[in-house]
Structure 1
């Protein structure tokens, strides 16, 4: 028997046909498969009616406010200690779990989902569709945050102790300079885009864990997420502690730029680069 025949035999699987099918099912999805899954999802989102995008975006703005509330609830009961943020930021992840598992339209997810179809087919039509989706979802998110913040900021909306915990984290976020929000927004955008890339390969509890750990790290790292951060800023606007202009120009706009830089210009571009020769 030749060396070639021997090598061929050694490389042949000894699994039965049914076992081979099972192996294919549990094998990790290739980057190409993940790309196609997200691209198809992006094409679906780009084709949705404006009204559907709008109301889903408003719901996401409300839903993400739970990140602020739940983190504030932890802050209210935890002692002032170096380890406290390691616990309180578990609350930050709650809002993201609700929004992502609820399939709501969150702007930062859309820094990659509709972008991959655009990279794949950079036509004028796709540019227009992507711009439309970004605009509608972002404005809808901001409206949802503004309305949720109005409720949170009302006297008596929360018990006094919990209200103070929420206000503490809102004030801390508002203290950052615009350039800091921009710089801190880039890794947050990268991490959300990475999460979107991971989800097609995750099932069941793995999906929940992926959302939990990635968004927990955004909170623990003190990074700037434009939608969650908008809720924090709008709470202070409604209470008269900062101006709307300060919220918009000092926090929301720079965080938006940072999230887009990290999510679209860094992660999405790299993700497309690794598969562009295969698609």
Structure 2
């Protein structure tokens, strides 16, 4: 008689195949990003920087409309995912998402070309994102975007990032980078649940008080243009620690873990020499 006992090894193989499929999809997306022209990356990154400011504007609108109650911050946090929905579903280039997508090709097939292209991608996208958030921050601070109530509420929300030391901002940014990397990893499997997945991850991120470098830069630039912070505090104490923490959480921790779980099951790759 044939053995009808459930094959647990087959279940394990299925799970491993799913992980390998996700690795392949995210890696191929990253390889495509590494080959994109600099101008395309720049404009996409700039658009993402502008669009992510919708999070702060939506939060500010909710903050201005709600009474000062213990539950207000939980409701205001519902505005945070809006910018991420626009950016991710609109396929715009966001620095924190690129930490894992660009890292997987590098750790899978290490080469000078892959390293140079990864650093190029991060540099262009980060700079473009910050240009977009700087313009958005200026628009809010000057009153060109939103009314006086929106501006004051946005300043109140943004002031929270100045309560953290640079070291604390760095530490808070690590789980944020980790969570956004998980989000980028999970989205290929999310399909019709993409909106719910994006909302869930980013809502937890904000109510937990984690530091996201690009949304945080929008807040930092708003404070700068409103005269509440200086240039050194904005870049050296608010933006830079968040960027480094996001990198460590996304590219340094999650990307390596995501690769390590399937590395032993992947076909032999190139030796890492640059043939280009």
Q: Distance in 1 between matches of 2:17 and 2:239?
A: 36
Structure showing greater Rg: 1
What secondary structure, in the 3-state scheme, does the structure 2 residue paired with 1:153 have? helix
Aligned to 1:55: 43
**Which runs of at least 4 in structure 1 moved beyond 6 Å after TM superposition?**
none
What secondary structure, in the 3-state scheme, does the structure 2 residue paired with 1:278 have? coil
Aligned to 1:255: 242
Aligned to 1:24: none
- On the 8 A contact 1:46/1:129 being kept in 2, the answer is yes
What secondary structure, in the 3-state scheme, does the structure 2 residue paired with 1:6 have? coil
Aligned to 2:269: none
Q: Distance in 1 between matches of 2:160 and 2:223?
A: 11
Q: Distance in 2 between matches of 1:133 and 1:164?
A: 35
Q: How many residues align?
A: 259
What secondary structure, in the 3-state scheme, does the structure 2 residue paired with 1:104 have? coil
- On the 8 A contact 2:16/2:262 being kept in 1, the answer is no
C-alpha displacement of 1:116: 0.3
What secondary structure, in the 3-state scheme, does the structure 1 residue paired with 2:191 have? coil
User: Tell me, which stretches of 5 or more residues in structure 1 are unaligned?
Assistant: 13-26
Q: Does 1:91 align with 2:79?
A: yes
1:60-139 equivalences in 2 (<5 Å): 60-139=48-127
Q: Distance in 1 between matches of 2:144 and 2:50?
A: 19
Aligned to 2:2: 6
Q: Does 1:208 align with 2:195?
A: yes
Q: Against the structure 1 CA distance between its residues 29 and 70, is the aligned structure 2 distance closer, same or farther, given a 3 Å change threshold?
A: farther
Aligned to 2:271: none
- On the 8 A contact 1:28/1:201 being kept in 2, the answer is no
Aligned to 2:34: 46
- On the 8 A contact 1:71/1:166 being kept in 2, the answer is yes
User: Tell me, which stretches of 5 or more residues in structure 2 are unaligned?
Assistant: 8-14, 267-276
Q: Against the structure 1 CA distance between its residues 34 and 157, is the aligned structure 2 distance closer, same or farther, given a 3 Å change threshold?
A: closer
What secondary structure, in the 3-state scheme, does the structure 2 residue paired with 1:241 have? coil
Q: Does 1:180 align with 2:168?
A: yes
Could you tell me the TM-score, scaled by structure 2's length?
Answer: 0.90
Q: Distance in 1 between matches of 2:16 and 2:152?
A: 46
